Amino acid sequence: MKKTAVNEIHKKLGGKMVDFAGWEMPIQYKKGVIKEHMAVREKAGIFDVSHMGEFEIKGKDALKYVENLITNNASKLDKGQVLYTTMCYEKGTIVDDLLVYRLDKNYFYFVINSSNHDKDFNWLKKNAEGFELEILKDLSPEMSLFAVQGPKAEDIINKLMEEDLSKLGFFRLMRNVKIGGVNVKMISRTGYTGEDGVEIMLKDENASELFKKILKAGEEFGIEPCGLGARDTLRLEAKLMLYGNDIDDTTTPIEAALKWTVDLNKGYDFNGKQVIKDQIENGVDRYLKGFEMIDRGIARHGMDIYNENDEKIGYVTSGNYAPFLKKNIGLGYIDKPFHKRGTEIYIDIRGKKKKAKIVKTPFYKKSYKK
């Protein structure tokens, strides 16, 4: 298995290590997933997400190239701004969901899902034909990525920075700064938890020093090291997509309720545009919907969903206990016309049909001040 630059720190902190997409990563630490989850909701947590992939794109045609790849509109990004988007195949299904960082007029970074690393980079190379690019590089082998998330994240990082982090707006970035005296390539006000926070990209050789300094600076604020378990429950409460569960190469942005990531009028064609346009105009047969359990039980990925007449109408993509909300929740693709809010559905949990109802999402939403 691959190891991140702070692998030994995880083990010293009592991290329970597992294989995730070929990486040895902490699923949780000694206090457990619920404690870590609540620390992020109420105080702060730090995640090592260095398994994620980072790609660098630069050159005369970089903007046109990026626009061809993604469904959202990179042209509207100012320098120093970040965008969430999907990247699709010609048939309109999703290659990956990712963050696009605009560093300059024709200079971009992608941060993509670890499990899609090789597939994504091959897709980028395949689509590069005909575009004049100076750089199309996989930075992943040399970079670490940390996420400091929670209402106290700003206070913690401000202890370590000369710049005032309160001036960094939501989905904005700063480049080439020092945090705790450590050189950082980029810090962005982004995350995967539904909370305020930052993600920090830096060279592997500086990673251990910074990770320790953030933990030390965060002691007075109640920071906790957090693993992939809490990352999953946090993102589910905020209804953030997990590739391979909620979206994949069989689902489209419209089915996945990601229409807001699609800009048909951006002035550039993109892979899958016609299929997606047709779906927007004519609708689809199923939608990704959130539900909460009425009966006892936790819905899990792959479980079948039924209507009151015992007809199969969909399947679960994600499900878990939501520690902050203190209820069992989930996501699933549900056929029309059974997808409407308030509809009662039944999840086949180990051979028993358990009642749930479709609810408004996200299940949890923080009001951002910036």
List pLDDT tens digits, range 59-109: 999 999 999 999 999 999 999 999 999 999 999 999 999 999 999 999 999
**What is the domain-level CATH number for residue 194?**
3.30.1360.120
**Predicted model pTM:** 0.96
The answer on 159 and 228 residing in a single domain is: yes
Euclidean distance between CA atoms 192 and 231, whole angstroms: 7
The answer on 148 and 32 residing in a single domain is: yes
The answer on 219 and 168 residing in a single domain is: yes
Asked whether residue 263 is assigned to any structural domain, the reply reads no
Indicate if the pLDDT at residue 242 is higher than 90. yes
Other CB atoms within 10 A of residue 145 CB: 22
The answer on 75 and 41 residing in a single domain is: no
**What is the domain-level CATH number for residue 347?**
2.40.30.110
The answer on 104 and 164 residing in a single domain is: no
Number of domains observed in the structure of the chain: 3
The answer on 165 and 36 residing in a single domain is: yes
**What is the domain-level CATH number for residue 88?**
3.30.70.1400
**Beta carbons of 112 and 120 less than 8 angstroms apart:** yes
The answer on 128 and 21 residing in a single domain is: no
**Beta carbons of 319 and 301 less than 8 angstroms apart:** yes
Among residues 140, 168, 188, the one where a domain terminates is 140
Q: What is the pLDDT of residues 11-22, one digit of tens each?
A: 999 999 999 999
Mean per-residue pLDDT for 193-213? 98
Euclidean distance between CA atoms 206 and 59, whole angstroms: 28
* ∠ Cα 80 201 10 (to 5°): 155
Average pLDDT over the chain, rounded to an integer: 97
Among residues 90, 119, 140, the one where a domain terminates is 140
Structural domain boundaries, residue 124: 54-140
- The per-residue pLDDT for 367 is 61
Asked whether residue 251 is assigned to any structural domain, the reply reads no
**Beta carbons of 276 and 91 less than 8 angstroms apart:** no
Q: What is the pLDDT of residues 269-324, one digit of tens each?
A: 999 999 999 999 999 999 999 999 999 999 999 999 999 999 999 999 999 999 99
Asked whether residue 272 is assigned to any structural domain, the reply reads no
Asked whether residue 246 is assigned to any structural domain, the reply reads no
The answer on 190 and 118 residing in a single domain is: no
The answer on 64 and 7 residing in a single domain is: no
Among residues 110, 140, 170, the one where a domain terminates is 140
The answer on 165 and 118 residing in a single domain is: no
Q: What is the pLDDT of residues 207-217, one digit of tens each?
A: 999 999 999 99
